[in-house]
A = this chain, B = another copy of it.
Amino acid sequence: MKTVVGFGDYMLRLNPEGYLKFFQADNFVINYTGAEGNVLTSLSYMGVPTQLVTKLPKNDIAECAVGNLKRFGVGVEHIAFGGDRIGLFYAEKGASQRPSKIVYDRKYSSFSTCEAEDFDWDKIFDGAGYFHFTGITPALGGNLPEICLEACKKAKSKGILISCDLNYRKNLWTREQAKETMEKLLEYVDVLIANEEDAADVLDIHATDTDIISGKLSREGYIEVAQKISKKYNIGRVAITLRKSISASDNDWSALLYQDGTPYFSKEYHIHIVDRVGGGDSFGAGLIYAIANGLSPQDTIEFAAAASCLKQTIELDVNLSKPADIFALVGGDGSGRVQR
């Protein structure tokens, strides 16, 4: 498989142990994370060559972040160094009716203040096959929308497959800002990933008959949304994750791939959640893996859904599942029997 290049911020995640709330915590568990970084670490763990393009400060904490990437095998040769700080956020895990809570402190990060000269896209994309970014990257502002556009153009010119996860974050930009910026970038995107809210929030695309009270779309509604996106932005593959949050502890999870005019739904999994953070990123990684390995559309969405189901049974942000584990779940073994 050719190298997958990701472009995004890479951060320190600090969370209390288990289900402790911030007010009860005496320690923070250290983890390094980022939407694009998580896609790459998951892919690397599956044996795929990857490169993360980001910017980090020159200090010991950033060295730990880089060490984490290297441990998974993610290439770090194109990381720029400089700026003030590594972005970070504090995450407290919810349970049952209590939601998880995230306190962001990512403003002023080295990545958010990066400059065009920090990255040599010609060299970065040399020999690469895939480019992945999420809506968070341009949302960080500064020069990032322009740099992101430059990267897309360069990737397109080299015949690289471009995937994008809309990943709308309302605390980073407004819907209007998101729509304006993302529409420029979508021109270059081959594979678009969205969850049930992103399409409406960012692209203002809605199903005709949405049940306005519950906000839940029917299967037909999701197909309609995917179809509209595909058509309007001329995107070959549109993938939508479908999460039913019964509670913070129990979710139903499935996904839809709309490809070449045909919708493909995955199985639905009832997940007893261990850690749902990173679920979307593992879906992206599964999707890229499946596409790159030439799976059929139905197999592709099954693989991506199963991959992200397994992620949510694993602590922290990275999907520590091998292709064999994922294929086993696709094949039907979700019984959780002991593997000896």
**A residues apposed to B, CB below 8 Å:** 14, 18-30, 45, 59-61, 63-64, 67-68, 70-73, 84-86, 90, 92, 94-105, 107-108, 169-171, 245-250, 269-274, 276-277, 309-310, 312-316, 320-321, 325, 329, 333-340
Docked complex Cα distance between A178 and B339 (Å): 20
Q: How far is the CB of A34 from chain B (nearest CB, A)?
A: 15
Known: A28-B14, A61-B90, A103-B59. A338 touches B276 (CB 8 A): yes
Q: List 27 A-B contacts (CB under 8 A).
A: A21-B320, A22-B61, A22-B63, A22-B64, A23-B67, A24-B320, A26-B29, A26-B30, A59-B103, A60-B101, A61-B105, A68-B71, A94-B313, A94-B336, A96-B272, A96-B312, A99-B335, A99-B336, A99-B337, A100-B339, A101-B338, A245-B335, A245-B337, A246-B335, A247-B336, A248-B336, A250-B272
Q: How far is the CB of A102 from chain B (nearest CB, A)?
A: 5
Q: Which residues of B contact A86 (CB under 8 A)?
A: 105
Q: Which residues of B contact A84 (CB under 8 A)?
A: 105, 107-108
Partner of A272, one of B68, B105, B249, B274: B249
In the complex, the answer to whether A95 meets B23 with C-beta atoms within 8 Å is no
Docked complex Cα distance between A335 and B252 (Å): 12
Q: Which residues of B contact A273 (CB under 8 A)?
A: 96
In the complex, the answer to whether B23 meets A63 with C-beta atoms within 8 Å is yes
Docked complex Cα distance between A25 and B20 (Å): 17
Q: Which residues of B contact A335 (CB under 8 A)?
A: 99, 245-248
Q: How far is the CB of A62 from chain B (nearest CB, A)?
A: 9
Q: How far is the CB of A268 from chain B (nearest CB, A)?
A: 12
Known: A20-B315, A70-B73. A102 touches B338 (CB 8 A): yes
Partner of A95, one of B18, B22, B27, B272: B272
Docked complex Cα distance between A101 and B22 (Å): 26
In the complex, the answer to whether B71 meets A19 with C-beta atoms within 8 Å is no
Known: A60-B22, A249-B336. A97 touches B30 (CB 8 A): no
Which B residue's beta carbon lies closest to that of A28?
Answer: B28
Q: Which residues of B contact A329 (CB under 8 A)?
A: 97
Q: How far is the CB of A303 from chain B (nearest CB, A)?
A: 14
In the complex, the answer to whether A27 meets B28 with C-beta atoms within 8 Å is yes
Q: Which residues of B contact A68 (CB under 8 A)?
A: 71
Which B residue's beta carbon lies closest to that of A22?
Answer: B60
Q: Which residues of B contact A339 (CB under 8 A)?
A: 99-102
Which B residue's beta carbon lies closest to that of A250?
Answer: B272
In the complex, the answer to whether B313 meets A97 with C-beta atoms within 8 Å is yes
In the complex, the answer to whether B61 meets A103 with C-beta atoms within 8 Å is yes
Q: How far is the CB of A257 from chain B (nearest CB, A)?
A: 20
Closest 5 CB pairs of A and B: A248-B336, A71-B71, A245-B335, A98-B313, A97-B334
In the complex, the answer to whether A27 meets B30 with C-beta atoms within 8 Å is yes
Q: How far is the CB of A215 from chain B (nearest CB, A)?
A: 11
